[in-house]
Amino acid sequence: MRSAIHATFGDPATVLTLGELPLPQPAAGEVRVRTLLSPIHNHDLWTVHGRYGYKPQLPAIGGSEAAGIVDALGDGVTGVRIGQRVAIAGVHGTWAEYFLAPAAGLVPVPDSLSDEAAAQLIAMPFSALSLLEFLQVAPGDWIIQNTANGAVGKTLAMLARARGVHTVNLVRRDAGVDELSALGIDHAISTAQAGWQDRVRALLGSASLRAAVDSIGGQASGELLSLLGEGGLLVSFGTMAGEPMQIASGDLIFKQATVKGFWGSKVSTAMPAQTRRALIGELLRLATSGELQLPVEAVYDIADAAAAAAASLQPGRRGKVLLKP
């Protein structure tokens, strides 16, 4: 089968090549899926670099999420049929014509949902929805996030709005405000503008921020903490700056604030099955209704995976870059 593989760890734009690997055979409890579309996530690129928590045996096929058609069933698999369209995340080797997946992790895709949306339905949106649950906010509450024009940021803003939660969406470029506006996401503020903190306070009026999501680290962490209300929660979701969080002890003490880390993989593993099913159902409903938009920047053939990886890192993207076998 055609596959986007890497024989060494390194820059995906350099080490990814088209290869031919044997068709995998499903073990007990597994299914084989014929890939329709597979997205390129940042954690996929980190894995190719060899810098992620999971390090595959080389040569390896990239990719961790996809939409596809069930092609073969392993022993003991029930409740799944050959020819069924499904989505799944948290697997390996989806940048290929076929991949293996645990039958228990499959999400049946309704006819009303496009392949483009189904291919990116689980990983980022589920992380965003799990994060929203983690914040323990209620309708009418206000939260703030930086890098709001990233994949998770856009999704979090849309999911929060559907639940009646207000979001202040910080972006680092003025153009990011327009990117969010095109998706119907309001309350966007560019931190490239002087006095942006005052604009946040003016937007809030008498309301206070219940929680903040920090995907940058460094100085940005302290900036979010300074805006939190009393008893607020600061969540570290990423470290784009590659620096330790810089937070003022005075803000932490006098606001009686709490700082927590969020790792989607750990949260998902500990999540009760009933809660997971409910959240997946919520995502399907919102994606089908259009309240959750999952735009696509471009679709590349897997033969061009290196170019696709480079494209996925370009600033100002309007959506995900997808690979098609």
Beta-carbon contacts of 263 under 8 Å, excluding residues fewer than 6 positions away, are none
CA distances from 153 to 78, 171, 294 (A): 37, 10, 12
pLDDT tens for 10-59 read 999 999 999 999 999 999 999 999 999 999 998 899 999 998 878 999 99
Do the Cβ atoms of 4 and 305 come closer than 8 Å?
yes
pLDDT tens for 87-139 read 999 899 999 999 999 999 999 999 999 999 999 999 889 989 999 999 999 99
pLDDT tens for 278-288 read 999 999 999 99
Would you state the pLDDT for residue 52?
81
- Of 171-180, 235-244, 272-281, minimum mean pLDDT range: 235-244
Phi and psi torsions of 137, nearest 5°:
-105, 160
Q: What count of other Cβ atoms lies within 10 Å of the Cβ of residue 225? A: 23
| Residue 160 pLDDT level (bands cut at 50, 70, 90) | very high
pLDDT tens for 199-253 read 999 999 999 999 999 999 999 999 999 999 999 999 999 877 778 899 999 999 9
Round the average pLDDT of the chain to a whole number and report it.
Answer: 94
Dihedral class, residue 90 (left if φ above 0, else alpha if ψ from -120 to 50, else beta): left
d(CA 303, CA 112): 29
DSSP 106-167: -EE--TTS-HHHHTTSSHHHHHHHHHHHHHT--TT-EEEESSTTSHHHHHHHHHHHHTT-EE
263 pLDDT higher than 90: no
